[in-house]
């Protein structure tokens, strides 16, 4: 054991990550030793469950990637060191920030039951079996039925927005994997490897996923997600579309809108709509919901 620890420390000092990974020391013990001797390089989080929790919320993992625990910790450290503010933090400060920003869900079943309204329990995107579906768009009519949920009491808007973002992130990951799988099924593994989650790297892109048609034509996909099931006939549903997303939908020739239904389930349904801007105004009704206000001081 002493020889293995010595080899581990020597490998870490030389930044030989492959040798660090291969050292015959238990993952938990290995993590503690590495942090003790190299606190600037290795973070003091030892549970893979917690690492996965933080990677998911930080949106810096690619769903479906099979990484070992050392590589996952390295992703966290790389994220910290590449951020303009966090790069000057110690790993202790980064550790505290992660736990403050995204408190880990409790293990205790009684506590989890009490807090169930605050926890969005989602399957890993790679454990879902998404299905592409077809729906017909009907003309916009004031008589269309809308699903209305009536709630009483005080609405926690912060919690509501947080849950919506989590479900939105889940839908993006589901589409990312579904596009890769679709290309592989059709013999285009070369294109599958090029599918990119723009939502994780470029907030101003105006779409979430860059994918490809089978002939190699780029396809820009904006993803909207809901925990609801696909609506029935004559029903309508609403979603938010930013000004940038709307502009891209008009300027890009192969822009797609993907609606992910049942995003919290293991069998989500994906409705693909090509060039949604062409549905205006007969089949797609846009209503302003916010304004950008500018004040000039004299």
Are the CB atoms for 200 and 57 separated by under 8 Å? Answer: no
**pLDDT for residue 151:** 42
Mean pLDDT, to the nearest integer, of 252-277?
94
What residue has token string 């930013």? Answer: 242
Find, among 257, 254, 181, 248, the residue nearest to 217 by Cα.
254
**pLDDT for residue 140:** 67
Helix (H, G, I), strand (E, B) or coil at 247: helix
* Rounded CA Rg of the chain: 23
pTM: 0.66
Extract the tokens encoding 34.
């590495």
Helix (H, G, I), strand (E, B) or coil at 98: helix
User: Percent of the chain, pLDDT > 90?
Assistant: 33
**pLDDT digit string (tens) for 33-56?**
888 888 888 888 888 888 888 887
Burial of residue 270 (CB within 10 Å: 0-12, 13-18, 19+) is buried
């Amino acid at each position: 054991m002493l020889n293995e620890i010595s080899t581990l420390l020597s490998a870490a000092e030389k930044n030989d990550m492959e040798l660090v990974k291969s050292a015959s020391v238990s993952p938990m013990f290995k993590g503690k030793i590495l942090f003790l001797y190299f606190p600037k390089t290795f973070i003091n989080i030892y549970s893979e469950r917690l690492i996965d929790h933080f990677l998911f919320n930080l949106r810096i993992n690619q769903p479906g990637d099979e990484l070992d625990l050392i590589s996952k910790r390295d992703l966290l450290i790389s994220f910290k060191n590449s951020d303009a503010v966090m790069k000057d933090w110690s790993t202790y400060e980064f550790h505290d920030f992660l736990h403050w920003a995204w408190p880990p869900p409790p293990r205790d079943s009684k506590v989890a039951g009490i807090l169930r309204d605050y926890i969005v329990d989602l399957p890993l995107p790679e454990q879902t079996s998404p299905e592409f579906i077809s729906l017909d768009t009907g003309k916009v009519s004031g008589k269309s039925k809308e699903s209305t949920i009536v709630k009483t009491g005080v609405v926690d808007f912060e919690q509501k927005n947080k849950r919506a973002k989590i479900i939105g992130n889940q839908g993006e990951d589901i589409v990312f994997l579904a596009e890769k799988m679709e290309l592989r099924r059709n013999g285009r593994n070369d294109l599958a490897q090029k599918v990119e989650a723009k939502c994780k790297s470029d907030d101003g892109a105006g779409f979430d996923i860059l994918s490809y048609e089978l002939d190699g034509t780029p396809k820009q996909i904006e993803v909207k997600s809901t925990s609801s099931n696909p609506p029935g006939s004559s029903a309508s549903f609403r979603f938010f579309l930013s000004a940038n997303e709307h502009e891209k939908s008009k300027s890009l020739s192969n822009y797609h809108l993907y609606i992910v239904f049942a995003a919290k389930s293991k069998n989500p349904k994906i409705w693909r709509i090509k060039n949604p801007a062409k549905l205006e105004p007969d089949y797609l009704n846009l209503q302003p919901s916010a304004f950008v206000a500018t004040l000039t001081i004299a």
